[in-house]
Amino acid sequence: MVAALCVKMRSIIFRSMIEMDVASTPDLLSQFAGIIPLACHLASPRYAFQLVGAAALTHRLSVSMFPRLGVFKNIATLLKEGPQFFDRVDSLGTQEVWDVNWGSTFPCANGAAGTIIASYAIQESRRREKIQTSASGNASRQVVEGSMVRDVEGTTIATNASRGSFQSSRPEKEGSISSSMVEKVTSPVFYRGQELHVLQVSRRQPNISWYCKAIESVHVQNLAYLALLGCAAVMAFCQLYATMAALLIGVLSKIACRFTNIQKPLSFLENNEKHDACMLVAAHRNASVWYLYIGDRGVVDHLLNKDMVRVEPRSALLANYFQLAHILQVIAMAFAAAHRGWDGAVMVLMMLVSWFAEWEFEDRHLAKHWMNKHGIGVEARTFHFGRRTQMICAIHSFSGARSRQWMDSIIVPSLRRDTLLERLGHSATTPQITGETLLTPSDEAQICQQKAQVETAVEIIKRAVAGMEDA
């Protein structure tokens, strides 16, 4: 009797729990549907950085159909502050530039735009290299060593540096990057490795696809605005007021961006020198990743040193509108989260559609469109060095610069450094430390080893750059 009563109570409790879960499931889903857009659309400083980079590359302000919270506020601040906003936001990702030819050092003027272009060029080069590697099936990575040492994976690499031949005791792994993409100039593994991306910048014929022309067409954009306004009217008829308000704010903001005065300088991408550029870029002088820009000086100088965009005159009316749009967007999304109905579910759907349509504003598409529009080609190759001294001396030898002033903040002038440069054939333009007799036998051995590694590295970089020019 007691056992039967217990079984019956368990069945009643289990049934009530199932009924309770089924009854509470729609309410729980509606709560999540209202909170998800609010949580996923919280902006970060990265979006201001991306806004500045996109404005510098497209010379206009653009917003998506359903932008993240804070984007409208950033646009309002940009229209109020003008160039000061670009200087402040670009400083969030400040990079330092060393002009190898002129010996000067300065902060990068367009850090956001330069980062977008460099990332796109490196990704495209790696993608093409993987395609070539999979097609050939026999690519091998060349490793330059001064002696028998071990690489990162502990595999012994045998090198005959005098003959320029490179042999590996390990078969190349499938899908690895071929020698034309990645070269290594290594030292013993207890030194911190240095990664150098060489970016060859050149001019070519502009090539704008018909698809990009269609997207930028005023008539196509007007039709898209009318379609979005029709969707907003349907949402209002279905009593989806929060989603309707968010969509309407996005459409009106797209139209308002047309009236913002974002211009490019008159001397945009013009070259005022007769020589090519050779500029080294890194986050700081003790960085592990470096970018060496070579080639057309007009493009490189504008990417790193000059203004790429001009915001004048300032518009107080548009700035106030975007500030109001930011407040209304927050209210609309908060209302959808509090209402806990179909409004939140439709807003999630609109968020997904907006993400799918935002591909035009992704960094890689912005970089590709900018390069095609202005007729610019950027080829990238990556090199790995075991020590910073070999890398900096290899850059100096490759550039052919006479002044050593540019490297003084990276490698402090010393007898060993100056002796290495002199033995590489670079005489000093200013009096340097003299007295090679002060060098110890250990210093002499290290200088001889570094000299061989630098000379081999320069030859590899020159061959890679020649290949980029042919491409």
pLDDT in tens, 362-401: 777 888 888 988 889 999 999 998 888 889 999 998 988 8
Weakest mean pLDDT among 42-51, 181-190, 200-209, 368-377: 181-190
In this model, does residue 226 exceed pLDDT 80? yes
User: Is the residue at 320 inside a domain?
Assistant: yes
CA 65 to CA 353: how far, in whole Å? 9
The rounded percent of the chain whose pLDDT value lies above 90 is: 11
Q: What is the pLDDT of residue 11?
A: 58
* C-alpha torsion sign, points 265, 266, 271, 272: negative
Residue 160 domain-assigned (yes or no): no
Same domain, 445 and 335: no
226-242: average pLDDT: 86
Residues 410 and 287 in one domain: no
**Domain identity same for 245 and 316:** yes
Whether residue 324 is found in the same domain as residue 403: no
Q: Which domain holds residue 405?
A: 393-471
264 and 410 belong to one structural domain:
no
Same domain for 319 and 216? yes
Query: Concatenated DSSP letters for 145-159?
Result: -SSSEE-TT--EEEE
Q: What are phi and psi of 293, to 5 degrees?
A: -90, 125
Residue 421 lies in a domain: yes
**How many domains does the structure of the chain reveal?**
2
Kindly state whether residue 40 falls inside one of the protein's structural domains: yes
Residue 252 has what pLDDT?
92
Whether 79 shows a pLDDT value over 90: the answer reads: no
Using pLDDT thresholds of 50, 70 and 90, give the confidence band for residue 16: very low
- Residue 439 falls within a domain, yes or no? yes
Highest mean pLDDT among 174-178, 179-183, 237-241: 237-241
Interval 96-119 mean pLDDT: 88
> Does residue 268 sit in the same domain as residue 338?
yes
264-288 pLDDT, tens digit each = 887 888 887 778 889 999 988 888 9
On average, the pLDDT of the chain sits at 75
Cα separation, 92 vs 133, in Å, equals 38
Residue 186 in any domain: the answer is: no
Q: Are 457 and 385 in contact (CB under 8 A)?
A: yes
Residue 344 and residue 420 in one domain:
no
Indicate if 243 and 346 belong to the same structural domain: yes
Pick the range with the lowest mean pLDDT from 100-114, 127-141, 315-329, 331-345: 127-141
Asked whether residue 329 falls in the same domain as residue 406, the answer is no
Q: Which of 350, 376, 402 is the C-terminal boundary of a domain?
A: 376
**Higher-scoring residue by pLDDT: 137, 168:** 137
> Domain ends where: 376, 410, 429?
376
Residue type at 67 in one-letter notation:
P
| Range scoring the smallest mean pLDDT among 49-58, 87-96, 363-372 | 87-96
Measured between alpha carbons, how far is 36 from 348 in angstroms, rounded to an integer?
A: 7
pLDDT one-digit tens code per residue, 411-441: 888 888 888 888 887 766 544 544 445 778 8
**Does 254 share its domain with 216?**
yes
Q: Looking at 346, 376, 406, which one is the last position of a domain?
A: 376
Residue 56 pLDDT grade (very low, low, confident, very high; cuts 50, 70, 90): confident
Q: Is residue 16 part of a domain?
A: no
Residue 116 lies in a domain: yes
Same domain, 458 and 372: no
Q: Looking at the predicted structure, is the pLDDT value of residue 318 above 60?
A: yes
